[in-house]
Structure 1
Amino acid sequence: MANDLLSIAKSGARSSRLALDVTAQNIANAATEGYVRRSVGLAEVASTGGIAPFTQLNLSGVRVDSIIRNADAFRQSEVRRTGSDLARADAELAGLQNIETAIEQTGIYDSIVGFEAALQQLAADPVDPSLRAATIEAARSMAGNFNVADANLAAAGDGMRFEAAGAVEQVNLLSDELARVNLRLARTADNSGDQAALLDQRDLLLQQISDSVGISTKINADNTVDVRLGDSSGPVLVTGGTAASLTMTSAADGTVSFDLDGTAVAPSAGSLAGHAQALDMLAQMRGDLDTLATDMADAVNAAQGAGIDLAGASGTNLFTATGAGDIALAFEDGALIATAPAGAGAGSRDTTNLSALQAAMTGGNIAGRMDGLLFDISSTVAGRQTMRDTIATIADQASTALAAQSAVDLDEEAVNLVRFQQAFQASGRVMQVASELFDTILGIR
């Protein structure tokens, strides 16, 4: 009997010590990203021999049957899905805000209105050199603001493409690492501490990949994972120990496209999708701005050509432009502004052609179209902000649900520390009692 007590106490002490180690590991990693709480699975030690039926308790001690990783595959999948949507919304919103800033801060609308006002003031005295100089300066300011806006939009596009390229590189690095984890998982014993650590790493890698691109996963019997881009019918990113390579290509208009080992893919979630959507909007805005700049230049130049300047010569182009990026003044002498109609003679105060210049701006609705561009990007940003906030709420709820199930609860772990410590001490006391029994028996005369 004493020998049985020693065996039972030894198994209890060993199991309690391992349980204490797991509890301590939980506490130490409570703030570690991707760590999933562990618990110890205990099982009865089956003894051999004896006459007790197999279905009855053997009372031969306890052993650690497994290290249980308290993960929920469904909740983890939801966190990845909602997190991927949030990353897309964040990236798109940030890109759109950069576009809005790039246009609004240049003051194009104000400079267009300022040029129209300068033309109106010139009508008061069309031969006044100071008014003509002011009109030239207003035209120069407007053209310069178009240039700055185009340069700012180009810089915003460069930044978004740089971030997208970084995300592509990150996806490839994480995919390669996930493939290596798959190989290690296939060789690791089930329900072991090493397997639990590898599963934590696997799930963390999946979360990080999904932040960049939407994925679909399939967990295999050996706990390895197959990953596809998009849904379950998408191209394979990782299978077993093999990872495909994701690449990005930039088009002439600044938009981007992606392919996976030569197969074209269009991410619908993750930061890459957000960058691509923002770059699409950027290309549209740059195109609209180029059209506005050339339409304005063509209308003003046409009106200029129909009149005569202060010296009586035929009017020449006021602007040169193929787009917002290169629009510029063609001359800087205010006397060359064609305010008078053809045939009026040098020094004419006839403002008929000046009215045509004003009509070129107002008839083409240049200021109104610029205001429309600003309104479009501002309303788009406001809409995306609302959508992003909604998605963030959903993602937070999914993360909270997962944390409640798999995160470390320090209060619970503190209770476990006391419980397993007392179990360890109790096992030690049983060994002491067994020793005393042995001494008593040996001392019988």
Structure 2
Amino acid sequence: MSNLLSIGKTGLLAAQTGIATTGHNITNASVAGYSRQGIVQGTLPPVNQGVGYIGTGTEVAQIKRYYDNFLNTQLMNAQANQGSVDAYLGQISQIDNMLSDSTIGLSPALQDFFKGVQTANSTPSLQAARESMLSSSQTLTARFHEVSGRLQELQEGVNNSVTTTVNSINAYSTQIADLNKKIAAATMDPLNPPNDLLDQRDQLIRELNQQVKVTVLPSDNNMLNVSIGSGQPLVVGVTNMELATMASPTDPNRTIVGYQTTSGRVSTLPDETFSGGALGGFMAFRSETLDKVQNQIGQVAAGLATAFNDQHKLGQDLNGDMGGNYFNPIKAYVGYDNRNSATSTTDVQATITDASALKGVDYNVVFDGTDFQMTRADGTGGAIAIPPGVDTEIDGVTYNFGGTATQGDRFQIRPTYTAAADIGVGVTDFKKIALAAPIATSVPTSNKGSGTISAGTVDATYLEPGNALTAPLTIGFHQTDPLDKNTRSVDGFAAGAVVRVTLAGGASTDYNPGDTIPYAEGATYSSNGMSFTMNGQPKDGDTFTVGPNTSGVGDGRNGVLLAGLQTKNILNGGSATFQGNYASTVNYVGNKTREMMVGSDAAETTVNQARASQQSVSGVNLDEEAANLLRYQQAYQAAGKVMQIAGQLFDTLLQIR
């Protein structure tokens, strides 16, 4: 009878365990990360009683946790991608909204600015027209400042988001390491691990994975090791690594991430380490879009200021003086690495001097002990050596590395990074606006032929010492044989000047001092930075005058050239206008935003599908659990009946005498 009673008891205990496990599933059905559990029953060893082996009952061999590592990894990968895309989308949407807003965008301000230049050029003698040009210039620079300020706010927002995310990552890694310790202590039998603790740890890892993509590997005693990037450890057994944020060594306004060392310093990690998750999204947005937009908006600002200044210097103001810088010169951002030698006194001067050569990219510089080696941050091109103390122009920026450097010193050069914030109008007096050309030409009424001469223009060579006119030049026409055009010539150019003759078809020839300079109808003559075109049929002895512009109050020839910069391809090696380059930036942001929106929708669908697959194995189905509850209830009742019958049989035996 005792054997029958024992069999009933084992069945009763197994059914009781099944009921408890099912109840545990039901009450935790809505707990995030909970995995369904079930009992695995086994048969107890039978006893040989001569007539055969008689069973001795059942036992609960295992409380099984329904979990599929492959499906869980799929879900984690999908969630990491979703976290990255959503973080990226949340940031880039702000830039897209800003650039598409006509009240903030630069395009209307650029149009108004050049409209002001055209108005001043059409009436150069009017004070009101010139003051209106100054006003539109101030409006344009204010718009650049506004856009730059908004982008800087986004930079600060990314910094705050990175810091907050790193704090969350540290909190998760600490909890995961603590759970590793608890799980290892509770793992007495590898076949019977602490399932609820495993669920808690897996849920924390999934939440951590949404912050930064992680790789999980098994360790001893059911512990897990967690790493990021290309294998950088975050949790190793019961130990977690602390991440920390700090200002970039070359840019105090940029937050970077690294390991917190025991000495309190931060060992920096590359931004590429943090791929996936919200942190990866913030890093990707900053490097792919925010930096690019800041550089490209700055390229428009720096290109406009430099090109406008170059042309303005070739004009003449109302005082009769040559024009100066209309906009304040733009200097490149120079980041001195705070890890450089304390004895270094390097002073880097970097001024934007050529608008068309600007690349809108960043540069890294390291001193090799002899020269400063410069490379583009995007990896294009090779290293360029810059000797100390020598003016060197690279990609539109003129550099001079002064002072004393130590081998290994590093610098970051960002030519257009702060240009939109730095641009400003340098002219405050309307009389200083150089709308007139510095030279004027004329044809004496005493000439006998039909020869004409254009108004004349100047280029940057005119500004070199000794080239500017201080007195008029008389260009004389000569023809020794009235019937032979080959005997026609001109003279009277500045002493010692090389004269370039460019024919109407484009071919050009240089003539040295003392050479006979032929006359060709429609040819352009250039010397000492001055150019003019001669046409018609002069007579022998006719002259033409080229001299300083002494009455340029109503002259707007340089103003025409200034206004023409609006439609001139200047940026990107002479392939884009200012507004065209800005439109390209707006287009890039719009396309990237649309890409992220589509990616966000796709990521959400992928996560839902992966979660459904994972939950099909690990999720709690209340209908199924209700059925299990009834099944175990019936099993419990049946086992109880077995014990009842065993008791009755025992009582019957006691009554036999």
Question: Contact (CA 8 Å) 1:306, 1:314: kept in 2 or not?
Answer: yes
What pairs with 1:357-376 in structure 2 (closer than 5 Å)? 357-363=562-568, 364=570, 365-376=577-588
Alignment partners' CA distance in 1, 2:85 and 2:243: 21
What's the CA shift for 1:284?
2.5
What's the CA shift for 1:367?
1.3
Alignment partners' CA distance in 2, 1:52 and 1:258: 76
Q: Deviations over 1:134-173 (max 9, x none)?
A: 3323212211111011111111111112111222222222
What's the CA shift for 1:12?
2.3
Alignment partners' CA distance in 2, 1:76 and 1:159: 32
Alignment partners' CA distance in 1, 2:147 and 2:189: 60
Q: Deviations over 1:61-82 (max 9, x none)?
A: 3222211000011111222222
Aligned with residue 273 of structure 1, among 276, 280, 284: 280
| 1:400 lines up with 2:605 in the alignment | no
What pairs with 1:312-391 in structure 2 (closer than 5 Å)? 312=320, 314-320=322-328, 322=330, 323-342=419-438, 348-363=553-568, 364=570, 365-391=577-603
What pairs with 1:166-205 in structure 2 (closer than 5 Å)? 166-188=164-186, 189-190=188-189, 195-205=194-204
Aligned with residue 307 of structure 2, among 288, 299, 312: 299
Q: Deviations over 1:204-246 (max 9, x none)?
A: 1221222222322221352111222235xx2332222112222
| 1:92 lines up with 2:88 in the alignment | yes
Aligned AA for 1:87? G
| 1:413 lines up with 2:617 in the alignment | no
SS at match of 2:605: helix
User: 1:161–1:52: structure 2 CA closer, same or farther, 3 Å change rule?
Assistant: farther
- Most deviating of 32-41 and 129-138: 129-138
Alignment partners' CA distance in 1, 2:602 and 2:63: 38
Aligned with residue 114 of structure 1, among 112, 115, 119: 112
- Most deviating of 42-51 and 64-73: 42-51
User: 1:124–1:182: structure 2 CA closer, same or farther, 3 Å change rule?
Assistant: same
Alignment partners' CA distance in 2, 1:201 and 1:312: 81
SS at match of 1:368: helix
Aligned with residue 132 of structure 1, among 119, 130, 133: 130
What pairs with 1:184-263 in structure 2 (closer than 5 Å)? 184-188=182-186, 189-190=188-189, 195-220=194-219, 222-231=221-230, 234-251=231-248, 252=250, 257-260=256-259, 262=267
What's the CA shift for 1:297?
1.3
Question: Which runs of 5 or more residues in structure 1 are unaligned?
Answer: none
SS at match of 2:234: strand
SS at match of 2:221: coil
Greater C-alpha radius of gyration: 2
User: 1:52–1:87: structure 2 CA closer, same or farther, 3 Å change rule?
Assistant: farther
| 1:60 lines up with 2:83 in the alignment | no
Question: Contact (CA 8 Å) 1:72, 1:402: kept in 2 or not?
Answer: yes
What's the CA shift for 1:327?
1.8
Aligned AA for 2:76? R
Aligned AA for 1:142? L
Aligned with residue 149 of structure 1, among 147, 150, 175: 147
SS at match of 1:427: helix
Question: Contact (CA 8 Å) 2:246, 2:257: kept in 1 or not?
Answer: yes
- Most deviating of 246-255 and 24-33: 246-255
| 1:83 lines up with 2:95 in the alignment | no
Question: Contact (CA 8 Å) 2:213, 2:228: kept in 1 or not?
Answer: yes
- Most deviating of 166-175 and 125-134: 125-134
| 1:422 lines up with 2:644 in the alignment | no
Question: Contact (CA 8 Å) 1:256, 1:279: kept in 2 or not?
Answer: no
Alignment partners' CA distance in 2, 1:194 and 1:130: 86
SS at match of 1:11: helix
Aligned AA for 2:626? A
Question: Contact (CA 8 Å) 2:219, 2:237: kept in 1 or not?
Answer: no
Q: Which structure has more strand as a fraction of its residues?
A: 2
- Most deviating of 418-427 and 122-131: 122-131
Alignment partners' CA distance in 1, 2:212 and 2:232: 13
What's the CA shift for 1:312?
4.8
Aligned AA for 1:398? A
Question: Contact (CA 8 Å) 1:257, 1:276: kept in 2 or not?
Answer: no
| 1:434 lines up with 2:646 in the alignment | yes
SS at match of 1:328: coil
- Most deviating of 335-344 and 423-432: 335-344
Question: Contact (CA 8 Å) 1:255, 1:276: kept in 2 or not?
Answer: no
Alignment partners' CA distance in 2, 1:153 and 1:42: 64
What's the CA shift for 1:129?
4.3
User: 1:273–1:255: structure 2 CA closer, same or farther, 3 Å change rule?
Assistant: farther
Question: Which runs of 5 or more residues in structure 2 are unaligned?
Answer: 262-266, 331-418, 439-547, 571-576
User: 1:133–1:24: structure 2 CA closer, same or farther, 3 Å change rule?
Assistant: farther
Question: Contact (CA 8 Å) 1:218, 1:226: kept in 2 or not?
Answer: yes
User: 1:313–1:230: structure 2 CA closer, same or farther, 3 Å change rule?
Assistant: closer
What's the CA shift for 1:192?
8.3
What's the CA shift for 1:60?
2.5
Alignment partners' CA distance in 1, 2:321 and 2:236: 76
User: 1:410–1:128: structure 2 CA closer, same or farther, 3 Å change rule?
Assistant: farther
What's the CA shift for 1:311?
5.4
Question: Contact (CA 8 Å) 2:317, 2:436: kept in 1 or not?
Answer: yes
Aligned AA for 2:643? M
Question: Contact (CA 8 Å) 1:42, 1:62: kept in 2 or not?
Answer: yes
What pairs with 1:21-40 in structure 2 (closer than 5 Å)? 21-40=20-39
- Most deviating of 378-387 and 261-270: 261-270
SS at match of 2:227: strand
Identity of aligned residues (%): 27
What's the CA shift for 1:122?
3.5
Q: Which structure has more helix as a fraction of its residues?
A: 1
SS at match of 1:339: coil
Alignment partners' CA distance in 2, 1:378 and 1:275: 18
Aligned AA for 1:432? Q
Alignment partners' CA distance in 2, 1:136 and 1:421: 90
Report the aligned-residue RMSD. 2.8
SS at match of 2:635: helix
Question: Contact (CA 8 Å) 2:37, 2:63: kept in 1 or not?
Answer: yes
- Most deviating of 359-368 and 188-197: 188-197
What's the CA shift for 1:415?
1.0
Question: Contact (CA 8 Å) 2:144, 2:420: kept in 1 or not?
Answer: yes
Q: Deviations over 1:254-298 (max 9, x none)?
A: 666544464745233222222211111322221222222122112
Aligned residue pairs total 439
What's the CA shift for 1:197?
1.0
What's the CA shift for 1:36?
0.7
